[in-house]
Amino acid sequence: MSSTRKPTPPPRTEAPSRPLIEPGTRVPEQEVSRLLDTVLKLAVEMMNADRGIILQRRGEELDTVAAHNIPPESAGVLSEVSSSMVRQVLKTGAPHLTHDAQADPRFGQADSVILHQITSMLCAPMYLDDRVIGVIYLDSQRDRQRFNDDNLSFVTIFARMAAIAVDYAQSYGELYVKKQLLQGELDQLRPQFEEIIGKSPKMQEVFDLMRRVMNSDISVLIEGESGTGKELVARALHYNGPRRDKPFVAQYCGNLAESLLESELFGHKKGSFTGAIADKKGLFEIADGGTFFLDEIADISPTIQSKLLRVLQEGEIRRVGDTESHLVNVRIISATNKSLKEEVNSGKFREDLYYRLNVIAVTLPALRERAGDIPLLAQHFAKKFAEKNEMPVKRISPRAMQVLANYSWPGNVRELENTMDRAIILSEDDVIDIDDLLIPEADRMLSPYMTLKARERDIVLKTLEDCGQNKTRTAEILGVSLRWLHYKLNEWKSQNK
Ligand SMILES: Nc1ncnc2c1ncn2[C@@H]1O[C@H](COP(=O)(O)OP(=O)(O)O)[C@@H](O)[C@H]1O
Ligand SMILES: [Mg+2]
């Protein structure tokens, strides 16, 4: 093969205006295709070629992944270029150059050469390690433009780099798609427990713990004062976990007659006691495959404690009056508002059962320990009530909100919910004010963060009350004029409207 030496045009050095593959870019498939187009365009420009094409191996097939000056819609683009040359390069893995295609006995007869008056053709393999993953093909139809050996060496190296870039982009694309899929799965596994309101750090800790135990079968003991949301958490664990399509069965265990509770939990055989007129399934059997929530567990009797231990240890239950056992598969979540540990210490609760129930303990904070969540919860309940009763949501006045936030809530979230429901009914307009809350005057504590105006009002109203609504006396004690007092009282009255 002869060659007329011509200086190789200098490679373009300017960087592309933006990275070809930007991290986080959507639809990476398109990005790979954009990368290939850019690679081919660079090769065509640097070689001053007329046409170019990148073909990539996909198994036994050859795909056109980029084309320059060859109409992309023309079917079987390979027949447009010199297919015999491309096949040879793919087979041998060696780059190829021909200067005078018309005269070359190997290619001259090919239709495509004649058709396009190709004078010079160049084809370089795209190597990835020792595999040829495709080729870059360039040709020139002009009489004077002939590729030389330098061009061939350059394109050969260029093709290697292009192969690495394409492979990188494709792996990136695959990883990106995998990441998206995993992220989707992860999001499903990481529910935000929307029905449980709480932005405070203490509740965030609870959510973290819930997420960690949600997908396992381990027994969870939920501790917390009455009304802190123990049952809500138990339900959330069940309905966000793998047993969500199976039953969630809750049984209150506090202050129940032992025989009644026993028959409820484990069922009974016909005739096992007066009134047992038929065989009865226990709740454990009904909960089979699902979750059993034992509420106020601290109060159960020693007999039931030992039966429960059997369920946890052997997965077996025996109906009252039965000689046979049944296998059940239940996840146990229990709750208590007492300290179960103390019950163990005082000998009222079996220690072995305690450890079986308390594989993980979730402790719910009292509402007063997360006072920051009170406004959120109050608004949540105002909205919930409105939705349930198909009425507009009532606003909570700033002063009422302050009283809510400062109250100690011995009955926790349940008490707040009841207070809100009641206040909505009591309030005669669209605003919930202090008087609608029915929180005793003595419990309307002043916050150290109260505004001066609010403090002023509080002090004046309290003094007025102490003076049996006697305004002259009140003004005297406070060292203000009667006029000022009247003015203020009128102002507050109109604010309350
Ligand atoms: N964090 C919370 N967000 C929204 N509602 C709550 C929350 N905690 C409790 N509640 C509501 O308060 C009431 C009492 O909750 P519950 O789970 O029965 O408490 P516990 O079992 O601890 O006595 C329920 O109506 C529940 O929906
Ligand atoms: Mg409860």
- Reported as a single tens digit per residue, the pLDDT across 35-83 is 888 889 999 998 888 888 998 888 878 888 888 888 755 545 555 566 7
With a 6 A CB cut-off, is 384 part of the ligand 1 pocket? no
pLDDT tens-digit series, residues 236-247: 999 999 999 999
Mean pLDDT, rounded, for 316-342:
94
pLDDT tens-digit series, residues 159-175: 998 898 888 888 887 88
Mean pLDDT, rounded, for 12-37:
55
**Highest mean pLDDT, choosing among 78-87, 200-209, 442-451:** 200-209
Task: Tell me which residue has its CA closest to atom 13 in ligand 1.
Answer: 414
Task: Tell me which residue has its CA closest to atom 7 in ligand 1.
Answer: 229
Q: Is the pLDDT of residue 15 over 60?
A: no
Q: How far does residue 362's CA lie from ligand 2's centre (Å)?
A: 14
Query: CB of 231 within 8 A of CB of 417?
Result: no
**Which residue type, as a one-letter code, is found at position 452?**
L
Q: Is the pLDDT of residue 6 over 70?
A: no
Q: How far does residue 432's CA lie from ligand 1's centre (Å)?
A: 22
Question: Residue for token digits 């302050």?
Answer: 402
**Highest mean pLDDT, choosing among 36-50, 100-114, 192-206, 295-309:** 295-309
**Which domains does the chain show, CATH number per domain?**
28-180 (3.30.450.40), 201-365 (3.40.50.300), 368-496 (1.10.8.60)
Instruction: State residue 16's pLDDT score.
Output: 38
Query: CB of 405 within 8 A of CB of 371?
Result: yes
Cα 255 from Cα 241, distance rounded (Å): 30
Q: Is the pLDDT of residue 7 over 60?
A: no
Mean pLDDT, rounded, for 334-343:
95
Q: How does residue 10 score in pLDDT terms, banded at 50, 70 and 90?
A: very low
Question: Residue for token digits 């750090």?
Answer: 201
With a 6 A CB cut-off, is 228 part of the ligand 1 pocket? yes
Instruction: State residue 101's pLDDT score.
Output: 65
Instruction: State residue 476's pLDDT score.
Output: 94
Question: Residue for token digits 């979730």?
Answer: 362
Q: How far does residue 250's CA lie from ligand 2's centre (Å)?
A: 10
Instruction: State residue 8's pLDDT score.
Output: 45
**Which residue type, as a one-letter code, is found at position 348?**
K
The ligand with the least distance to the CA atom of 367 is 1
Q: How far does residue 309's CA lie from ligand 1's centre (Å)?
A: 28
HEC secondary structure over 302-355: HHHHHHHHHHHHHCEECCECCCCCEECCCEEEEEECCCHHHHHHCCCCCHHHHH
Q: How far does residue 414's CA lie from ligand 2's centre (Å)?
A: 9
Instruction: State residue 107's pLDDT score.
Output: 62
Instruction: State residue 306's pLDDT score.
Output: 95
Q: How far does residue 197's CA lie from ligand 2's centre (Å)?
A: 17
Which residue of 228, 362, 414 sits with most ligand 1 atoms within 8 Å of its CB, as the best mutation to test the pocket?
414
Q: How does residue 2 score in pLDDT terms, banded at 50, 70 and 90?
A: very low
With a 6 A CB cut-off, is 264 part of the ligand 1 pocket? no
Of 203 and 26, more confident: 203
With a 6 A CB cut-off, is 373 part of the ligand 1 pocket? no
Question: Residue for token digits 């040879």?
Answer: 88
With a 6 A CB cut-off, is 422 part of the ligand 1 pocket? no
Task: Tell me which residue has its CA closest to atom 12 in ligand 1.
Answer: 414
With a 6 A CB cut-off, is 250 part of the ligand 1 pocket? no
With a 6 A CB cut-off, is 365 part of the ligand 1 pocket? no
Q: How does residue 11 score in pLDDT terms, banded at 50, 70 and 90?
A: very low
Q: Which residues of 3-29 are buried (b: 16+ CB within 10 A; e: fewer)?
A: eeeeebeeeeeeeeeeeebeeeeeebe
pLDDT tens-digit series, residues 355-369: 999 999 999 999 999
The ligand with the least distance to the CA atom of 204 is 1
Taking the CA of residue 228 as reference, the ligand 1 atom at the shortest distance is 22
